[in-house]
Every structure is written in C-alpha cells, then in structure tokens.
Amino acid sequence: GENVEQHPSTLSVQEGDSAVIKCTYSDSASNYFPWYKQELGKRPQLIIDIRSNVGEKKDQRIAVTLNKTAKHFSLHITETQPEDSAVYFCAAALTNFGNEKLTFGTGTRLTIIP
Amino acid sequence: NAGVTQTPKFQVLKTGQSMTLQCAQDMNHEYMSWYRQDPGMGLRLIHYSVGAGITDQGEVPNGYNVSRSTTEDFPLRLLSAAPSQTSVYFCASSYADLGTGGDEQFFGPGTRLTVL
C-alpha cells in the first residue's frame, strides 16, 4: 500500500518569512495530493491540492509543487502570518472515480513567531 | 447544508463495552470514510465505503465494524472497546466524479473517545 513520509515534524518560522513542508510517497500510481490544515481541536480542512498531471499550483500565499519522478511534493507558505500556526498534513491517493481513501503523512506543527 | 456531522463529540467507555459512533452527511456524497487520529501518527484509515451496501477495510480495521445502509449514514461500531482504541475519530465524505476534480474529502468535527 501507499506510504507517505512528511518532514519536518515541527517548524518555527518568523512572521513574514516563508515555510516549506516536504512529503514523499511510495506508490507511483497515486495521482492526487491534498494538503490539510488542522487547528487545535478542529477538523482537518483542505487548503490546496494538486493532481499528478500538474507540476505546480498556487493559491495566494500557498503553493504546492509535485515531482512525480522523485515521488515528492511540497507545501510552500509565503509571507507567513500568526493565523498560519497549525498542524499541516500531506496526503496521497489513487483516484479513479473519486477519492475514498487518503494516506496521510504524520503532520507538521507550524508555529509562526510574531 | 450541515455537511458532515458526527455524534457524540466526546465519549468515555470501559474496556469491553461496545458503542456506535454516528456519521451523517447531507451532500449526497457517494464515498464515506472513517479515520482515527493519534498523536504523532497522522490520520489512519479504518474503513471506507464507495456507496450504499458496499464497504471495505482500510489500514487499521481490527476491532471495528461498519455498514452503509443509506447514502447519508455511515456508523462505526466498536465491538469490545480496548484502551488502544482511545483516539479521535473523524468521518469524511467525498464525491464520485470520475477523478476529474472535486476530489476533496470533507471531514466531520470528530469524536474524542477514551477507553479506560
């Protein structure tokens, strides 16, 4: 089955600087890679996702890059703000007719230092 | 729409007790899944369903049963609770759309379960 590794497990960044979180996956057939943000005591919420036919996707201060050959993908947050502090999870899935099962990384706790 | 709802929010059980965690969605999603979240281990898939009457095992299915009699509901049953099942449980749902987009899984608010 799929295995997703995520690094680092914790990350502290000065407000205004950039943060980068990296993930690798094992199953070359996986074609969908979402990133979820989870605030303390809350549910995971999708912040950005990318499909395997795209190398990069950007949404305002958030971007994701995918390298299919190396089987890794990364989350980039620029101009970080205090509200970016949370736990971030990457995930991978093989979606044919939809997405019923995600394999998650172990999470990165991001702390933005004011 | 209420989205994905879960009950109860909190539950304390004694070892050996059984219970059912409820999950419902009002978005007419075909796919539903159950995950457990433990510190340092991310979210792990317990069981999933691709439609009413169809269920399958995920990564950590032992000690749990599911059924999907309707599109809306996907209950998770703990047969005989053990301390190792202390965790936060999340239900999620998503569309079946031929993989052309809209693959987002929507999560419920979670159930925090403690087994003594």
Confidence of residue B20 (pLDDT cuts 50, 70, 90): very high
- For residue A97, pLDDT over 80 is answered with no
How far is residue A10 from each of residues A101, A112, B74, B76, measured CA to CA in Å?
26, 11, 34, 32
* Confidence at residue A1, expressed as pLDDT on a 0 to 100 scale: 84
The answer for residues whose C-beta is within 8 angstroms of residue A17's C-beta and 6 or more apart is A80
Please, what is the average pLDDT of chain A? Answer: 93
pLDDT digit string, tens, across residues B31-84: 999 999 998 888 999 999 988 999 999 999 999 999 999 999 999 999 999 999
Interface of B with A in 41-70 (CB under 8 A): 41-45, 48-50, 58-59
Confidence (pLDDT) at B110: 97
C-alpha to C-alpha distances, B4 to A3, A45, B26, B59, nearest whole angstrom: 27, 12, 7, 22
pLDDT score, position B101: 56
Q: Which residues contact A21 (CB under 8 A, 6 or more apart)?
A: A6, A7, A8, A11, A74, A75, A88, A90, A108, A110
Q: What is the pLDDT of residue A101?
A: 78
Span A83-103, average pLDDT: 85
pLDDT of residue B102: 59
CA distance A105 to chain B (A): 6
pLDDT at A102 over 90: no
Contact A65, A74 (CB under 8 A): yes
Task: Out of B59-63, B72-76, B94-98, B107-111, pick the least confident.
Answer: B94-98
CB pairs under 8 A between A and B: 79
The answer to whether B111 faces chain A, any CB pair under 8 Å, is no
* A69 shares contact with chain B (CB less than 8 Å): no
A11 Cβ partners below 8 Å, 6+ apart? A19, A21, A108, A109, A110, A111
Residue of A nearest to B58 (CA): A101
pLDDT at B34: 96
More confident residue, B99 or A50: A50
For residue B99, is pLDDT > 60? no
Give me the mean pLDDT over the A15-21 stretch.
98
Environment class of B52 (CB within 10 Å of its CB; exposed 0-12, middle 13-18, buried 19+): middle
Contact state of B99 with A97 under an 8 Å Cβ cutoff: yes
